[in-house]
Structure 1
Amino acid sequence: MRKLLEYLPFHFTICLVVGIILQFNFACWFLTGIESVILLVGLVGVLFIFNQFKKKTFFTVVSWLLFVFVGMFAAFTTNNVHRENYYQNHLSQEAPVTIKIVKELKSNLYYYKYFATVQKIGNKPTTGKILLHLQKVNAKGTLEVGDELLFTSEFLTVQLPLNPYQFNYKEYLEKQGIYHQVFLKEPLFLKRESQQFSLDVIANKVRYSIEKALLDYNFADEELAVIKALLLGQRTDISSELLQNYTNAGAIHILAVSGLHVGIILLILSFLLKPLERLKYGKATKALIIVLLLWCFAIVAGLSASVVRAVTMFTAVAIGMSFQRKTWLLHALVMSMFVLLLFKPLFLFDVGFQLSYLAVFSIIFFQPKIASTWKPNCWLATKFWQLFTVSLAAQIGVLPICLYYFNQFPGLFMLSNLVIIPFIGLILLGGIVVIFLALNNSLPSFLASAYNAVIAMMNSFVSWVSLQESFLITDISFSLTQMIITYIVIVFLGLYLEKKNFKRFVGMLFFVIVFQIQLFFEKHQVQTTEELIVFHKSRYTIIGIKQRDQLLLNHNLDTVAIKKLSLLKKYTTAKKIDTVMYKNNIPAILQYHEQQVLIVDKLGVYQLKDMITPIVLLTQSPKINLERLLLQLKPRLVIADGSNYKSRIANWKFICDTNNIPFYDTGKSGAFVLK
């Protein structure tokens, strides 16, 4: 680990990451192209001067600053928003819009979903990506990558989550450079196939040919969906239930074509091409062939972001392996990360990118040290011990970030990995053979049935593991600060294992204590904060009162349904709630400290006595004379939750605006919180 920390490009990569984060969150960079070049060249000149006068400290600081600026510049220039031909700068109600489908997403009950680039507004060429929703009703079929659509429709912003701690889909799309969405239905657009050459289109056609060939054989739906996920990078057909099973079993990485699959293919190719090493320049030739085949696999897998990342990373690994030096492997990984972030800065915010590099770095650092603690005498035991140590080392690297993002820990992840991963290489190799034979219409039915049975066995095993709920730890509250401190502890642990000395041990112990202090501080915050919250839930009313680590919920949902609500699980996990009390009724009046809350439901009956500037909550679309209510009560605020009709809400807002009374719509502004 020390060699990595002393590797200069690693410092530059860290500075690049800092620059990207600063630009994304604070938009610090605003210089034009020429101004940016002048600044960066000027900094290079300053570096040259400091180097000539041997000012090492100043040289180091300015070097770091230069690469922070490079990160900011990269994030700025790759963001289409800052370009003059960005589509939003040319939108008009009359001008037709031309878009091109670039990626198919998982559909929902009502819409097919795609990412698309905006090619033209009218006759003006434009840039930028959008999220497209195509209504399923009356749709003649799904669209394909490369299809172009012509339409006139409104571009809508993506809504923020309406309840605290829910998944922020708006932020997720922004990290992919997408800021608007469009809803379409047939026949309100014209479609044509693109005539332009594109790797995406070629990859999609190859993938479509493979899918069509596989459909001619008797693969079950679930098994075919897993085959497409394993070999083609397409998870859109996997059912939500099966996907959750793989998640709970700690085997979700099996279904994502990423570092695991590409790494296994790299090992297979390295083994098969080992005889080339006997030739002159054999190692270089072997590395070149492996790299070419990896990129062929990337094209077949659809050139998705995860596949491109993984293949780029393992291209560097393949080159590093050809030198047969551990430091070259580390250096190649760092350089691949640097190059990826330089040209695709938003990859930094992709969970797959983070998991891939953290897992590989952790394996390189920790696996040899863990493996050295035991030397089995049996060949089979040695192989299983190697697999165990690789899985454990990878888990050390990804556990903190998994806890932060997913708030759960699958206790049987090791069992899943020990059973599946030894065979995943054969499954991938067998899948490639099956695809090759299917494309040539020469796949024997017994081979197709056997491969289907293998995938079915894997699915059944994963389903069985996922049912062992006592080993699945859920609802783990793990903050960003805790994650960062944990990684600092892991770094000091790696340094200590590399060379055991007192300073490194004290450093690790210090940050362990910092972590405990952070836990105490967050627990203290929970114990001392109280709030009233009106959640947003379509057609229903949910009112919560949080006191210390307890939550009282007044609601009108089914008793079973309320306990399964995702929005409540996210809230209780983030707020570290230990006890939840449910009351299946909505009171007419709530008293929260000194604040009265008058609740008016569909009956439209409410109390006026002893009401002093209350907050009025309207639920279930009551038929009331709101203007008279405002005159009588002079409320501090009027709230409309998700149980009301939108037409009523619009009318109430108009009345409140007319009477200068603040109005809060949870359907637009999200859950209402009163501290």
Structure 2
Amino acid sequence: MKFINFAIVKFSAFLVLGILTAHYLPSNSFFLSYLFIILAIVAGLWFWAKKQLVQQPYFGIAVYLCFFAIGYFTYQMQLPEFQPNHYSHFISENKADLVQLKINQSLKPDKFYLKYFATITAINNNPAAGKILLNISKKSIKQSFSPDEILLVYAPITEIQKPLNPHQFDYSKYMKSLGVYGQLRLSSSPILKTQKASKTLMGIAQNIRAHIITKFQNTNLKTDERAIIQALVLGEKKDIDKNLYNEYAAAGAVHILAVSGLHVGILYIILAFLFKPFVRWKYGVFFQATFIVILLWGFALLSGLSPSVTRAVTMFSFFAIAKLFDREINSINTLFLSFFTLLIINPLWLFQVGFQLSYLAVFFIVWLQPLFYKVGYSKYWIVRKTWGIVSVTICAQIGVLPLSLYYFHQFPGLFLLTNIVVLPFLTILMCGGILIVLLASFDSLPNWFADSYNFLIEGLNGFIHWIAVQDEFLFKEIHFSILKVLGTYLLIIAIALLLKKMNYHRLVISLLAISVLISIYIYDEFRYSGNQFLIFQKSKQTLIAYKNGKHLTVFKSDSISNTSETYPLKSYKIAVNTNSYSEKKIPGFFKYNNKNVLVLDSLGVFPNATNVNTILLISSPKINLNRLIDSLKPVQIIADGSNYYSYVKRWEKTCKLKKLPFRHTAKQGAFPIE
């Protein structure tokens, strides 16, 4: 292995530590002043260290603190409170504002809204900045908007709602990782004015992509096949059928639908082959590297500059530049250099799942694949190539498995078979897809070529479907906490180091890692062994869950079967580590932790009970709440999502007059009975 420059690895580690500290332990003060102080100390120590014969550790410590401070500072710069022009400082609470914004990117629409990312340029005629999520009702407007269009609207800017049930996907948190801290909903509010703005590179790239997709619709490409090629070559996934996408996920091949390092690597090989004749000319290497880098970044722009693509293109750009200067290339150095560079540019990428999985997969391929390849080396060419694909797949899967289990809670058992078939197939599809994009753009795509591509994609989709329906090989609903993720990575690294070089110290470290992971599993079993009584929020339905150890009992108002596989119970079951489940009809009376819970449904009949702690109102009961409170003297009132809003408002007003705590799950989220 070529020399690894551990300095860039250490600098990256302290940069990440600074970003994480700023994220989890934020400071109200701006860190820039501290950064300047540390830089001054580093400069002073550097001049002092130059004159010393025996070097002291102070300079090194100061340098690491400097990179820690840079990480902290760059993260702070992304936060609205440290951006004087951010729109959050100008908006009026619960009031509409005159907002001027510029469309950045169109997103996948839902049933009711067209969705866009936009940048705010002014609020109430005051200059402003910041990204926002724009939702435009399909009923209010029929037209769609293109990147770089400017809109003038009069509407309130609101926060993106947090999940109302525990352990659900937090869309607001995901949006914040993209730098989006608010949203506009335009349903009845008119768009006052639209105009074209000056063109940007991103806008031009997206308009070109939209133009190519429009051209595709006039070809012989079928709907599913067209969606696959859009994902493979253009990074456009919003037209992929949901069932087809789920099949790719179940087969362990979803990574080929998201343009990533794999696709960029194939493109790099294609471009290096095409521009190989340049090296024969004087300065040909320079032109070769320049054209490859420009085309790679052009591809990244066209595919939307996703974190995985940006990471891969940055890394391959460093490869091309190093080759230009005839420098030895070490993959780990290049990987960490691209990692360091991208986090300096945008530290929020660290919290995106795609970014994390992408770097982990490449790191473990680079680090472990030589070891695996050596084990299965053969003198036969076909065996070597097959084992090369297998070893790369295994190393990538080892790298992403703990984090994948944490985020997605499933493991495709046939991932190895899938990748052995799909990876060679992908190279053919990428080459053909690029050619189809070029031909379709100029209305020159022959029907026979489109039909041939249809046939190839149909074959791939058929294979993926066959893998996906092998349910016995898809392990789902796996509970995996963040502690298990850390413990598993510790064990993987310890065993990998032991296999690379066996000695006593590494054996001890491996045994300690096994002990740590076992302790984490025991701790998790203990942590989730308690009881919980929870009233969920679900529109037009009542869901009450009682968790007793590892058994979950759900009380519900309807007769729909298999509620455990639907929102919001599925993710809750996995998160609290239950292994058995049952359903019952909602009784009129509960007792939990010596507290009595009375349930009133649409009939509104209540007993002459005493010591009622909580009253749960469901299905809009027609009751006199004043009389009910005076009669039963409850401690609190809860209304779930099955009630009419007009009823809830009346109950809330009554409880306010009675100075009695009132909770509406549709506004405040699921409520646990303590």
Q: Identify the TM-score tier after normalising by the shorter chain.
A: over 0.9
Contact 1:321 1:329 in 2 (8 A): no
Distance 2:196 2:316 in 1: 32
Aligned counterpart, 2:563: 562
Query: Deviation per CA, 1:299-333, whole angstroms, max 9, x where unpaired?
Result: 32233444333312322244456678876322121
Query: Deviation per CA, 1:628-658, whole angstroms, max 9, x where unpaired?
Result: 1111222121111111112222221221121
Aligned counterpart, 1:553: 554
Tell me the SS of whatever aligns to 1:614.
strand
Moved more, 262-271 or 53-62: 53-62
Distance 1:593 1:606 in 2: 22
Counterpart residue identity of residue 654, structure 2: I
Moved more, 553-562 or 620-629: 553-562
Counterpart residue identity of residue 669, structure 1: Q
Tell me the SS of whatever aligns to 2:546.
strand
Q: 1:482 to 1:553 in 2, by over 3 A?
A: same
- How far the C-alpha of 1:347 sits from its partner, in A, is 0.6
Q: Within 5 Å, which residues of 2 pair with 1:651-670?
A: 651-670=650-669
Counterpart residue identity of residue 128, structure 1: G
Counterpart residue identity of residue 596, structure 1: N
Aligned counterpart, 1:25: 24
- How far the C-alpha of 1:577 sits from its partner, in A, is 0.7
Aligned counterpart, 1:217: 219
Contact 1:29 1:76 in 2 (8 A): no
Query: Deviation per CA, 1:198-242, whole angstroms, max 9, x where unpaired?
Result: 111110121122112212112111111111111111111112111
Tell me the SS of whatever aligns to 1:246.
helix
Distance 1:412 1:28 in 2: 47
Tell me the SS of whatever aligns to 1:653.
helix
Q: 1:78 to 1:218 in 2, by over 3 A?
A: same
Q: 1:305 to 1:120 in 2, by over 3 A?
A: farther
Aligned counterpart, 2:201: 199
Please tell me whether residue 625 in structure 1 is matched to residue 624 in structure 2.
Answer: yes
Q: Within 5 Å, which residues of 2 pair with 1:402-417?
A: 402-417=404-419
Aligned counterpart, 1:601: 601
Aligned counterpart, 1:489: 491
Counterpart residue identity of residue 44, structure 1: V
Q: Within 5 Å, which residues of 2 pair with 1:321-336?
A: 328-336=330-338
Counterpart residue identity of residue 243, structure 2: E
Distance 1:593 1:212 in 2: 62
Counterpart residue identity of residue 227, structure 1: I
- How far the C-alpha of 1:457 sits from its partner, in A, is 1.7
Distance 1:232 1:413 in 2: 25
Contact 1:320 1:328 in 2 (8 A): no
Aligned counterpart, 2:41: 43
Q: 1:55 to 1:613 in 2, by over 3 A?
A: farther
Counterpart residue identity of residue 634, structure 2: P
Aligned counterpart, 2:57: 57
Please tell me whether residue 120 in structure 1 is matched to residue 118 in structure 2.
Answer: no
Distance 2:283 2:503 in 1: 43
Aligned counterpart, 2:431: 429
Tell me the SS of whatever aligns to 2:621.
coil
Contact 1:99 1:150 in 2 (8 A): yes
- How far the C-alpha of 1:470 sits from its partner, in A, is 0.7
Aligned counterpart, 2:85: 85
Counterpart residue identity of residue 66, structure 1: C
Aligned counterpart, 1:354: 356
Distance 2:539 2:127 in 1: 40
Aligned counterpart, 1:649: 648
Distance 1:402 1:47 in 2: 44
Task: Mark the runs of 5 or more structure 2 residues left unpaired by the alignment.
Answer: none
Q: 1:89 to 1:271 in 2, by over 3 A?
A: same
Please tell me whether residue 71 in structure 1 is matched to residue 80 in structure 2.
Answer: no
- How far the C-alpha of 1:625 sits from its partner, in A, is 0.8
With normalisation by structure 1, the TM-score equals: 0.95
Aligned counterpart, 2:578: 577
Q: Which among 267, 291, 294 is matched to residue 289 of structure 1?
A: 291
Counterpart residue identity of residue 69, structure 2: F
Task: Mark the runs of 5 or more structure 1 residues left unpaired by the alignment.
Answer: none
Counterpart residue identity of residue 98, structure 1: Q
Moved more, 300-309 or 565-574: 300-309
Q: Which among 494, 497, 500 is matched to residue 498 of structure 1?
A: 500
Distance 2:138 2:493 in 1: 50
Query: Deviation per CA, 1:431-485, whole angstroms, max 9, x where unpaired?
Result: 1111111122221111111112212221222122111111000011111111112
Counterpart residue identity of residue 513, structure 1: S
Q: 1:613 to 1:47 in 2, by over 3 A?
A: farther
Distance 2:323 2:390 in 1: 22
Query: Deviation per CA, 1:267-303, whole angstroms, max 9, x where unpaired?
Result: 2223333444455665554333321221121232233
Tell me the SS of whatever aligns to 2:510.
helix
Moved more, 187-196 or 633-642: 187-196
Tell me the SS of whatever aligns to 1:417.
helix
Q: 1:348 to 1:32 in 2, by over 3 A?
A: closer
- How far the C-alpha of 1:494 sits from its partner, in A, is 2.8
Contact 1:618 1:641 in 2 (8 A): yes
Q: How high is the sequence identity, in percent, across the aligned residues?
A: 37
Contact 1:29 1:72 in 2 (8 A): no
Counterpart residue identity of residue 573, structure 1: I
Aligned length: 670
Contact 2:96 2:157 in 1 (8 A): no
Contact 1:139 1:186 in 2 (8 A): no
Contact 1:545 1:551 in 2 (8 A): yes
- How far the C-alpha of 1:26 sits from its partner, in A, is 2.3
Tell me the SS of whatever aligns to 1:166.
coil
- How far the C-alpha of 1:2 sits from its partner, in A, is 11
Aligned counterpart, 2:107: 105
Tell me the SS of whatever aligns to 1:604.
coil
Moved more, 348-357 or 294-303: 294-303
Q: 1:7 to 1:29 in 2, by over 3 A?
A: farther
Q: 1:58 to 1:342 in 2, by over 3 A?
A: same
Distance 1:568 1:615 in 2: 23
Contact 2:80 2:88 in 1 (8 A): no
Aligned counterpart, 1:161: 163
Counterpart residue identity of residue 337, structure 2: M
Counterpart residue identity of residue 300, structure 2: A
Query: Deviation per CA, 1:532-588, whole angstroms, max 9, x where unpaired?
Result: 1111111111111111111111112334251321321111111111111111x2101
Please tell me whether residue 345 in structure 1 is matched to residue 347 in structure 2.
Answer: yes
Aligned counterpart, 1:588: 588
Tell me the SS of whatever aligns to 1:152.
strand
Contact 1:319 1:332 in 2 (8 A): no
Distance 1:496 1:47 in 2: 38
Contact 2:49 2:55 in 1 (8 A): yes
Aligned counterpart, 2:540: 539
Contact 2:31 2:73 in 1 (8 A): no
Distance 2:393 2:283 in 1: 34
Contact 2:543 2:555 in 1 (8 A): yes
Distance 1:285 1:332 in 2: 21
Distance 2:510 2:272 in 1: 38
Tell me the SS of whatever aligns to 1:552.
strand
Q: 1:40 to 1:59 in 2, by over 3 A?
A: closer
- How far the C-alpha of 1:57 sits from its partner, in A, is 2.8
- How far the C-alpha of 1:37 sits from its partner, in A, is 5.3
Contact 1:19 1:70 in 2 (8 A): yes
Contact 1:207 1:302 in 2 (8 A): no
Q: 1:338 to 1:592 in 2, by over 3 A?
A: same
Aligned counterpart, 1:230: 232
Q: 1:521 to 1:215 in 2, by over 3 A?
A: same
Distance 2:35 2:72 in 1: 13
Distance 1:607 1:106 in 2: 51
Aligned counterpart, 1:363: 365
